[in-house]
Structure 1
Amino acid sequence: MKELLDYLQRFDTLNEQQAELVTSKAKLLKLPKETYFSEAGKVPKQVAYILEGVLRFCYYNNKGQEVTHYFVGEGQFVTDFPRFEAQIISSEYVQTVTDCKLLVFTKEDWDDLLATIVNWRNIETQMVKKCLDESLMRRSKMVSSEATERYLVFLESFPALATRIPLAYVASYIGVTQQSLSRIRKNLR
């Protein structure tokens, strides 16, 4: 729980009672690799802080191909936040890439924190802003880049995760086939 509280304290101060309330709401959840944390076609019911592991955001395009568009690792929150907040059906999946250990908050518990802790909305807003900024920065570097540059941006963006993510997911994320990614990796050696 200390990791979670340290993370939250980056955004605003929590007093002892508030910290105890947060920890009382968090429930430990272990998920094996390739398990869905949330699914397209369903309303996201929880948000989690990642203690261990890697998750990915993915969807199916109009050709039925699975597309990975983001990875999240230790020390970050994970959820389809806009749909979690609005309690509407998600169009994407959040799936574990590795075995994961998470501290999970239900929608009801999250709303209780919002109603009880005066500065919780500020913490939430700053966390969401940080995630959006990071995501936009990473994606904008990749938009007009050729495949090798996109792979190098991936390595720069996710250095601690790069060796833990299957090549198929990396290839999908940078928008190439797995064979192309293998050639890129070979040429970089």
Structure 2
Amino acid sequence: MHSGLLNIISQKVQLTDNDVDLCGMLFEPVQFPKNSIIEKEGAVPQYLYFVVNGFMRLFHHNKNGDEVTTHINCPPGFLTSYVNFINQTKANENVQCITDCELLRITKSNLDNLTIQSAAFKDFSIIVFQQSIAYNEARSKELATLTAGERYEKLIENYPGIIHHVPVQYIASFLGMKPESLSRIRKQMNS
């Protein structure tokens, strides 16, 4: 299960045998069934997850009690309520497995130990942080400047498998629209 993570890391930084061993010791393999909420809002996130297989999302409840999906993770990739995990503060988001998921997880203390013991993992964590900032800036810009149809087209272009694994209501929420609006957009695109 660790090979996918190691492959992604080794594309960015040079790993030693010791780095590989540390990864195997500190990233714990776990599996969760579809619809499992593995981190809850109102609690301090316990783990950073690497998605080996499956689809996950971050969501919170708005003031009306409706679910708002803020992030959908298509494998492979990392997912947690990141700021809360790093600061070990209570999260305002839930982490949910949309499908059955195979994950690797690491605690904050083990992640800190890993970045202290391994220059490669320290460098890689900085790269992930930078990519996260760039992604969030691009997403904010897209929500502000692209039409709903353009946002959907871009999502499908970048993640073509998403429509087969993620319920439409999650995709619509992530794109900042109602499910009915997404259904209309999809019909227009297919006609």
Who is 2:168 aligned against? 167
Contact 2:143 2:176 in 1 (8 A): no
Aligned partners of 2:91, 2:15: CA distance in 1, in Å? 31
- What fraction of aligned residue pairs are identical, expressed as a percent? 27
1:3 aligned to 2:36? no
Contact conserved, 1:113 with 1:120, CA < 8 A, in 2?
A: yes
Instruction: Name stretches of at least 5 consecutive residues in structure 2 with no aligned partner.
Output: none
Instruction: Output aligned runs, 1:92-107, within 5 Å.
Output: 92-107=93-108
Write the mapping of 1:19-98 to structure 2, written as runs, cut at 5 A.
19-98=20-99
TM-score when scaled to structure 1? 0.92
Residues 118 and 151 from structure 1, CA distance in 2 versus in 1: closer, same or farther, beyond 3 angstroms?
closer
Answer yes or no: is the 8 Å Cα contact 2:32–2:101 preserved in 1. Answer: yes
One-letter amino acid matched to 1:110: L
Matches within 5 A, 1:76-155: 76-155=77-156
Q: Which stretch shifts more, 115-124 or 41-50?
A: 115-124
Work out whether residues 32 and 98 of structure 1, in 8 Å CA contact, stay in contact via their aligned partners in 2.
Answer: yes
CA contact (8 A) 2:58 2:80 kept: no
Write out per-residue CA displacement over residues 15-47 of structure 1, whole angstroms, 9 at most, x where no aligned residue.
101211111112111011111121110001111
Distance 2:122 2:29 in 1: 23
Give how far 1:132 is off: 2.5
Find the residue that maps to 1:44 and give its secondary structure. Answer: coil
- The answer to whether the 8 Å contact 1:30/1:102 transfers is yes
Conserved? CA contact 1:142–1:149, under 8 Å: no
Distance 1:77 1:178 in 2: 26
Question: Please, what TM-score do these two structures have when normalized by structure 2?
Answer: 0.91
- Asked if the contact 1:138–1:153 (Cα under 8 Å) also holds between the matched residues in 2, the reply is no
Query: 1:120: how far off?
Result: 2.6
How many residues are aligned here? 189
The offset of 1:63, in angstroms, is: 2.1
> What amino acid maps onto 2:110 in structure 1?
D
CA distance in 2 between counterparts of 1:21 and 1:54 reads 26
Q: Check the 8 A contact 1:141/1:153 in 2, yes or no.
A: no
In the other structure, the counterpart of 1:177 is 178
Paired letter, 1:96: C
Letter in 2 for 1:68: T
Output the CA distance in 2 between the equivalents of 1:170 and 1:150.
11
Alpha-carbon distance in 1 for matches of 2:135, 2:172: 20
Alpha-carbon RMSD across the aligned residues, in angstroms, is 1.6
Q: What's the offset of the Cα at 1:169?
A: 0.6
8 A Cα contact 1:54 1:97, kept in partner: yes
CA distance in 2, matches of 1:180, 1:66: 17
Shift of 1:88: 0.7
Does the 8 Å CA contact 2:57/2:98 hold for their aligned counterparts? yes
Distance 1:136 1:33 in 2: 30
What one-letter code is carried by the residue in structure 2 that aligns with 1:23? G
